[in-house]
Structure 1
Amino acid sequence: MTELRFDGEAVLVTGAGRGVGREHALSLASRGAKVVVADLGTALDGSGRSNGPADEVVKEIRDAGGEAVACGESVADPAGAKAMVEVALDSFGRLDAVINNAGIHFPEMFEDYELDDFRRMMEVHYFGTLNVCQNAWKHFLKSGGGRIVNTVSEGVVGLSPTSTAYGSAKGAIAGLTLCLAAEGPLHNIRVNGFSPRVRTRLSSPEIMEKAFGRPAENFKSMEGVYPPELSSFAAVYLAHGSCELNGVLLSSGGNTALRWAIMEGGHAEAHSVEEVAANIGAIMAMPDIKHMGVGITGKAPFVGELHEQKALRAQAAAKA
């Protein structure tokens, strides 16, 4: 197989100081990319700050002969997200792809969460991703296109009973990703989601014990099966120029890659509440499953019309 290279390209990776984000950065650099290693060096709950993790990854890349710069800004701060893009442009003169990976985690039962916990989770995960996407998008509009990979999670489907804050924030990112993918083809921008199957600080045995209510020892085997170095493959692929996917959610880890999606399939005539109840078996069976959304086509249903409208507006503005 031909190696997928990123020679001459620049990629921004957030949360790149540790865990799977670090693996993204190292893999990209080993394939020729110039990498912006963005990381605050915070604790699991987002508290504290340290330049150490980002600086260490940059040193590791440079020692191996690659190019990288550190950025200690916060994705939750719109100005910080803007600075990350500017660091790429100032350091490398370009930005070709973004992998949004920064995140925090603190599992609790729903009744033990405070409203501010949800706000904090959304600020880092959802608004952090949104902030970086908006600033990268503005650059891609000028440069002629680019790739965005947003880190989502299979946790959005309720795999853990203590992940209402984390799962709902990741669910918001999944929605953002799929909706951006509907607009992306207008500007030669591809937007996809990546879900890591990985054992990191965010999924340590101690964290998993709290998340699932089972002894930490039950999760120690994950360290050998799902190490970070086996979880980055799909994200790096989605960031590559040869990848034509758009609006797709991929997961990888433990030597496996897979696709997951929002599907529909159960249908029955229903003209009343009673008919829904009478046909609920057929509705739930989903015998004819099909994918919902942009999928791999790269185009939303009305993208052609939107493109025409945008062109007409541009012509009108030029004449004004």
Structure 2
Amino acid sequence: MTIRFDDRVAIVTGAGGGIGRAYALELARRGAKVVVNDLGASRDGSGHSDAAPAVVAEIEAFGGEAIADGGSVTDAAAMVAMAEAAKARWGRIDILINNAGVLRDRSFAKMTPEDFAFVVDVHLIGSAKATKAVWETMREQGYGRILMTASSTGLFGNFGQTNYGAAKLGLAGLTKTLHLEGAKHGIRVNTIAPVAGTRMTEDLFPEAAFAAFAPEHVAPAALFLVSEQAPSNMIVGAGAGVVQAAYITLTPGAVLAEPTPEAVAAQWAQITDRTGEIVPGSGAEQTMAILSKLQH
């Protein structure tokens, strides 16, 4: 079955280039009306450009429908205005892909508090502001698809990216709670951890690998995660045509022989034994697992 987005309205932040552009173009090719949001800044968040209108022109050239938005995701009022413009033009908002981001990489020893806060503000707080701007519309419609952009840095760590990693794992946590709050309103929320050769990563890839990791190879996973058939509460890795699923798991653990740190040390092997581990569907399941362990 072909996945289409006819009569759907999608907002993609950070869509002026790289992965976001690939998302916007493919959504439009498959029938979506697209808001191309991009401040047009460099990868450290400085400056402006006409990146968003250029992508709109690409979409219109093949007969698609799109509008440009230059608002910053760090500006809550700008995100509300963006959502209102989409509704004024097309009457609804079905999809939000939170893709906008910046990098200010340094080892933690050399990182300034300002650089740490700025990266968290753009990625995590910015995604929350964009989501808040569309949330009530999606609740009223009884339909919504939201995609957060995490990273392997957030899930597994990467030297020199404490700010980026903190923000990206925060987005996975934001997804998990929004999934619970949106479920009864037909809103499905997922997280993608893309690996792609873009201006954000161009100095990290060997030249040959850069081509294999083209942004267009991430788009299939992203579009599935915002389609009508989308799951919810998933963390999906994607890059170079490979799609993966990542999980936050919980081991059965151990009842301590006595409430001391020495007991934790003595029983560490049992505590960390992954046999029978689970993937909790909510935070409450950790408490339930503890109570079940005590009952046994």
TM-score over 0.5 (shorter chain): yes
2: CA distance, partners of 1:294 / 1:235: 23
Check conservation: 1:152, 1:173, Cα contact below 8 A: yes
1: CA distance, partners of 2:139 / 2:179: 14
TM-score w.r.t. structure 2 length?
0.91
For structure 1, the residue ranges without an aligned partner over 5 or more in a row are 209-217, 302-320
Counterpart of 2:35 in 1: which secondary structure?
strand
Residue 23 of structure 1 corresponds to which residue in structure 2?
Answer: 22
For structure 2, the residue ranges without an aligned partner over 5 or more in a row are 286-296
2: CA distance, partners of 1:275 / 1:112: 38
Q: How many residues align?
A: 283
1: CA distance, partners of 2:155 / 2:134: 29
1: CA distance, partners of 2:76 / 2:33: 23
1: CA distance, partners of 2:190 / 2:208: 30
Cα 1:294–1:250 change in 2 (3 A) is farther
Farther-moved stretch of structure 1 (13-22 vs 264-273): 264-273
Check conservation: 1:12, 1:35, Cα contact below 8 A: yes
Residue 246 of structure 2 corresponds to which residue in structure 1?
Answer: 260
Residue 305 of structure 1 corresponds to which residue in structure 2?
Answer: none
Counterpart of 1:247 in 2: which secondary structure?
coil
Counterpart of 2:12 in 1: which secondary structure?
strand
Which portions of structure 1, spanning 4 or more consecutive aligned residues, are displaced by more than 6 angstroms?
A: none
Residue 149 of structure 1 corresponds to which residue in structure 2?
Answer: 147
2: CA distance, partners of 1:122 / 1:82: 20
Residue 45 of structure 1 corresponds to which residue in structure 2?
Answer: 44
Amino acid at match of 2:235: L
2: CA distance, partners of 1:127 / 1:242: 28
User: 1:124-166 CA deviation, whole Å, 9 max, x = no partner?
Assistant: 1111100011111011122222111111112113431111010
Aligned: 1:232 with 2:231: no
Counterpart of 1:285 in 2: which secondary structure?
coil
CA positional deviation for 1:257: 0.6
1: CA distance, partners of 2:3 / 2:31: 10
Residue 242 of structure 1 corresponds to which residue in structure 2?
Answer: 229
Aligned: 1:277 with 2:287: no
Counterpart of 1:125 in 2: which secondary structure?
helix
Check conservation: 1:100, 1:149, Cα contact below 8 A: yes
Residue 36 of structure 1 corresponds to which residue in structure 2?
Answer: 35
Residue 130 of structure 1 corresponds to which residue in structure 2?
Answer: 128
CA positional deviation for 1:285: 2.9
CA positional deviation for 1:239: 0.7
Amino acid at match of 1:292: P
Residue 104 of structure 2 corresponds to which residue in structure 1?
Answer: 106
Farther-moved stretch of structure 1 (23-32 vs 142-151): 142-151
Amino acid at match of 2:32: A
Residue 4 of structure 1 corresponds to which residue in structure 2?
Answer: 3
Residue 293 of structure 2 corresponds to which residue in structure 1?
Answer: none
CA positional deviation for 1:294: 4.9
Check conservation: 1:198, 1:253, Cα contact below 8 A: yes
Residue 251 of structure 1 corresponds to which residue in structure 2?
Answer: 237
Check conservation: 2:106, 2:161, Cα contact below 8 A: yes
User: 1:68-93 CA deviation, whole Å, 9 max, x = no partner?
Assistant: 11001111000111112112111212
1: CA distance, partners of 2:110 / 2:143: 44
Check conservation: 1:38, 1:72, Cα contact below 8 A: yes
Amino acid at match of 1:125: H
Aligned: 1:187 with 2:185: yes
Amino acid at match of 1:70: A
CA positional deviation for 1:276: 1.0
Residue 196 of structure 2 corresponds to which residue in structure 1?
Answer: 198
CA positional deviation for 1:57: 0.6
Counterpart of 1:104 in 2: which secondary structure?
coil
Check conservation: 2:71, 2:82, Cα contact below 8 A: yes
Check conservation: 1:181, 1:294, Cα contact below 8 A: no
Check conservation: 1:6, 1:33, Cα contact below 8 A: yes
